[in-house]
Amino acid sequence: MSPIINLLIFGGLAVAMLIMSVMAITSKSLLRSATYLLLILICTAGLYLFLHYHFLAAVQVSVYAGGVVVLFVFAIFLTTPKDQVLLKHEYRRYVYAALITICGVGLVGFTLFKTKFIYAANPSVDGYLELPMQDIGRALMGTEKYQYLLPFEAISLLLLAAIIGGILIARKDKKDDGKDESLL
Amino acid sequence: MIKLEYYLIVSTLMFFIGIFGFITRKSMIAILISLELVLNAVEINFAAFNRYLFPEQMEGMFFTIFGIAITAAETAVALAIIINAYRLIGDININDATKLKG
């Protein structure tokens, strides 16, 4: 693809992501927020494809779009109150949040434009450089320098702990068994 | 050519949109969605820095992969807590969750 088309697609993805981020945090309906989040995550996978991290894009779509958003949707279904009233805005909180956001964007933007990044000699972003799957697998399964078996195992323990914790926390109490029948 | 700065601008704006939502939203699930935006922005940064500045290595990509896994675990536990809080207090408004205040 020509660089111009690449840039156009990237710009479209970026603008769509930002607009949908704003929609996701301002939308009144939680389900709509979750849908916008899903689209944002898929667009992020598109950005990873632009960086030629194909495996990362696949992980992003399968874990985020496939797992996390489904969790969100189920949680929203399980927790929507029967008489959903719109919450009153607290304008003071909006003012504080806008202040923090503007200060933060200013600070980070200033740093960003002051910094000159030393690009690698061949960032191979426009060229084709896919990370071979074998390299990823070896790096995940080795114990030498720049290999990641220990974090990998730590993640597996963390996921186990999250599973057990999720079951423990969201478990129904034996006492009010009849009352909560409609929830699960 | 797409520059590194473009990725950083996108992720910066996304990060602070997430922060804004984190402060202003009342529903616990909406706060969690804002948190996802923040984490997603950070992960874009990792991958972009890795590709543009150190393309021979893959540390940034692995940080992103581990970050995605940790985010999934965190979301699962947080949603379990929110469902439990809904059972206790009847809605998911963050201002009503005052049981631990004592």
Residue-wise pLDDT for B13-66, tens only, equals: 999 999 999 999 888 899 999 999 999 999 999 999 988 888 888 888 999 999
Q: What is the spatial distance between Cα A158 and Cα A23, in angstroms, rounded to a whole number?
A: 32
| A52/chain B closest Cα distance in angstroms | 8
Q: Are the C-beta atoms of residues A72 and B33 closer than 8 Å to each other?
A: yes
B31: which 2 tokens? 């706060």
The answer to whether residue A105 scores a pLDDT higher than 80 is yes
Residue of A27 and B102 predicted with greater confidence: A27
Phi, psi of B25 (to 5 degrees): -75, 155
Q: What is the spatial distance between Cα A170 and Cα B8, in angstroms, rounded to a whole number?
A: 38
The answer to whether residue A152 scores a pLDDT higher than 60 is yes
Residue of A129 and A97 predicted with greater confidence: A97
Task: Please give the model's pTM, rounded to 2 decimal places.
Answer: 0.87
Check residue B58 and give its pLDDT: 84
Q: What is the spatial distance between Cα B68 and Cα B15, in angstroms, rounded to a whole number?
A: 16
Residue A43: pLDDT band with limits 50, 70, 90:
very high
Chain B residues with beta carbon closer than 8 angstroms to that of A112: 5, 8-9, 12
CA dihedral B65, A119, A44, B44 (to 10 degrees): 50
- Residue of A59, A100, A123 lying closest to B68 (CB–CB): A59
Chain B residues with beta carbon closer than 8 angstroms to that of A48: 47
Tell me B95's DSSP state. Answer: G
Architecture of domain B4-101: Orthogonal Bundle (1.10)
Q: Which CATH number fits domain A3-131: 3.30.390.50, 1.20.120.1200, 1.10.3660.10, 3.30.70.2190?
A: 1.20.120.1200
> Residue A170: exposed, middle, or buried by beta-carbon count in 10 A (0-12, 13-18, 19+)?
buried
Q: Is the ipTM of this complex over 0.95?
A: no
